[in-house]
Structure 1
Amino acid sequence: MGSPEQLRDGLQAGAIAGLRYCPRALWQPASQAAGALMGAHPAPPVRQWMLNAEVMTGSCPSAGQVRAAVVSWARTQVVSMQLPRWSPGRIAAAVSWDPAALDLLRTAAGSRGAVVALPHMGSWDLAGAWVAGQGLPVTTVAERLPDPQFDLFVRTRNRLGMRVHANTETGVMRHLLDDVSSGRLVCLVADRDLSGSGIATHWRTARGAVDGRIPPGPAHLAVLTGAALIGAACHYTDPTHMRIDFSPVLEPPPTGSSRRRAGALTDRLAEWFSMRIRDHVQDWHMFQPFFDGVRP
């Protein structure tokens, strides 16, 4: 018999896996009710989201915005689990995008290589599945959660055509360099620094520039390989559709050390992320501490 922690992790993984069979008629009203409750009596993670959102937008979220944020988060969890059962046609129909931006992404991936960096917005799993459906092989990195949850997410993303590395995997940067060189599209969720060794940057908030850190991977990969770094941000446009916005190619300065060039490139990425987050803050799933000193 496993430890209490193993039992808890297994139960959590089972509950998440159960979402793959949860119909919209059940999860949507349940999430609306939970969102309304959180708007009136926010739990600690929701209070943290409210504080993060206030820094980004300059105003305290309304009860309606809190409800929308909870529904958006729930939708992302459900979509991630149910995607392997979706047909390619359904995945394509659920996403809107700028065709010119996709052409630029495809051209970059086929020539110099491409790294796509995303904030925790909308469903990055749907974005990855959609990109893979466009004929671009996808590699990503996942947070090393407890084994049952991590294994579940890896299996789910593998079935969607993605290659997944754990963020704690030995030699993960070397694997990503190889993937870029072999023509795979490396897609990294890159607004929250889990390592504590991220690149110092400035978030462009309604309060002005706020110090922060971004994971070093996307900018370092782009600088080391010469690949194009492109930002991508997802937001829900209605109950059945999601929009993916792509940035122009973000280029580092032409001269300087690799560390200095990566730092400048990260700052450009943070500026682009900031604008997307402010515009669609309800779809930013940042329920953890994010800004220094900003806690309930």
Structure 2
Amino acid sequence: MNESLSGYLADLGYAAGWRVVRAAPEPVAAGVFRAGATLAARREGAGVRQLRANLARVLGAQRPAGTEIDPAELDAVVAAGMRSYARYWCEAFRLPAMDPLALHARVDPAVQGVAHLDQALDAGRGVVAALTHSGNWDVAGAWLVRALAQRGRPATFATVAERLRPDSLYRRFVAYRESLGFEVLPADAGARTIATLVARLRAGGVVCLVADRELTAGGVSVRLFGEPARLPGGPAQLARHTGAALLPFGGWFTPDGWGLRFQPPVQVPRERSSVAVPAATQALADAFAADIAAHAEDWHMLQPIWSADRDTSVTEAAVR
């Protein structure tokens, strides 16, 4: 299919989703998405196959060396993972119409580690909140916007968005996240975006970055669940450059809402050193692994992130 035509059709599909899904009763919409997830898991397309490979690493790392994973167990986690991913999209289409107070009430009130956020902000430091593609990261952002307002701080944070094609689809996603209170900066604006992030952090603000997948050929080499992978070095570089606290920020689904957790800050030396950013990024990878392992089915990683998969081009599923 022509790339411009496929992009146009994708834009139409997302536009219809935001109109139709939010208008449908929640149980109906959730049931349709759940059925679609079940069908997708059975068909085992490229994205599902990559999810299976990724989750096999997560499960395997939690077992004694040489212990094989029960295929039935892996099947069940993959199926649950696809249902979780479908739930994310169903919620994404409905979020702009949700009552912010009702949304906030469905977040587990015992947000773990929120003291780490308060300590950094009270000390006048900026915060780099680094997330994985787990649970509903848009809900995590919406919660954070209201939490900042409750603390008498600007009710927004800065984040970065990958440039999608066509541009109308990119603008649609930017408008969606801006409606939740996010300040969205383009990933392809280079120095201009970096300068804005630095300014926000030096002013004591918050920057949120989804940081469990490197979109370029660069990144920082880490070990994730015992295997080589590459993660973005941006979160650690921003923290080192500005003195901001680097907080791993995880999320997962609960039966009728969402759980969130801030882990203790990752230490990033301020002095210039060739090992400062790699060491901090490895510590971030370790924190990510702890959150992912605790809620493996809620990690929506349908793309290759381990070096072995990227090198052999297992798949580059077009999933946003």
Fold shared per TM-score above 0.5: yes
| TM-superposed deviation, 1:57 | 1.3
Please give the residue correspondences for 1:146-295 in structure 2 after superposition, counting only pairs within 5 Å: 146=165, 147-170=167-190, 171-203=192-224, 205=225, 209-238=226-255, 240-253=256-269, 257=273, 259-294=274-309, 295=314
1:73 paired with 2:75, answer: no
SS in structure 2 at match of 1:287 = coil
Q: 1:226-261 CA deviation, whole Å, 9 max, x = no partner?
A: 1100001111121x211001110111246551x421
Q: 1:129-172 CA deviation, whole Å, 9 max, x = no partner?
A: 00001125211111111222211111111111110011112421
Please give the residue correspondences for 1:41-120 in structure 2 after superposition, counting only pairs within 5 Å: 41-58=43-60, 59=69, 60=71, 61-96=73-108, 98=110, 101-110=113-122, 111-120=124-133
SS in structure 2 at match of 1:176 = helix
| TM-superposed deviation, 1:212 | 0.8
Any stretches of 5+ residues in structure 1 without a counterpart? none
SS in structure 2 at match of 1:121 = coil
| TM-superposed deviation, 1:3 | 4.9
Task: Check the 8 A contact 1:157/1:164 in 2, yes or no.
Answer: yes
Q: 1:141 aligns with which of 156, 160, 163?
A: 160
Which one is further off, 261-270 or 165-174?
Answer: 165-174
Distance 2:267 2:257 in 1: 31
Distance 1:140 1:224 in 2: 17
2:318 maps to what in 1?
A: none
AA at the equivalent of 1:10: D
SS in structure 2 at match of 1:11 = helix
Distance 1:291 1:47 in 2: 14
Q: 1:20-77 CA deviation, whole Å, 9 max, x = no partner?
A: 3343222322233233334433122111101110012113554332222112111111
AA at the equivalent of 2:51: W
AA at the equivalent of 1:158: E
Distance 1:231 1:280 in 2: 15
Distance 2:134 2:112 in 1: 22
Distance 1:249 1:108 in 2: 9
Task: Check the 8 A contact 2:240/2:270 in 1, yes or no.
Answer: no
Q: 1:167-202 CA deviation, whole Å, 9 max, x = no partner?
A: 112421111001111222100000000022211111
| TM-superposed deviation, 1:112 | 1.4
Q: Name the Cα RMSD after superposition.
A: 2.1
SS in structure 2 at match of 1:193 = coil
User: Structure 1 vs Structure 2: percent identity of aligned residues?
Assistant: 31
TM-score, with length taken from structure 1: 0.90
Distance 1:29 1:92 in 2: 23
Q: 1:25 aligns with which of 24, 27, 37?
A: 27
**Any runs of at least 4 consecutive aligned residues in structure 1 with deviations exceeding 6 A, and if so which?**
none
- Structure number with the higher strand fraction is 1
Distance 1:279 1:9 in 2: 33
Any stretches of 5+ residues in structure 2 without a counterpart? 61-68, 150-154, 316-320
SS in structure 1 at match of 2:27 = helix
Q: 1:69-93 CA deviation, whole Å, 9 max, x = no partner?
A: 1121111112223222222211211
TM-score, with length taken from structure 2: 0.84
Q: Tell me the matched-pair count.
A: 289
Q: 1:22 to 1:168 in 2, by over 3 A?
A: farther
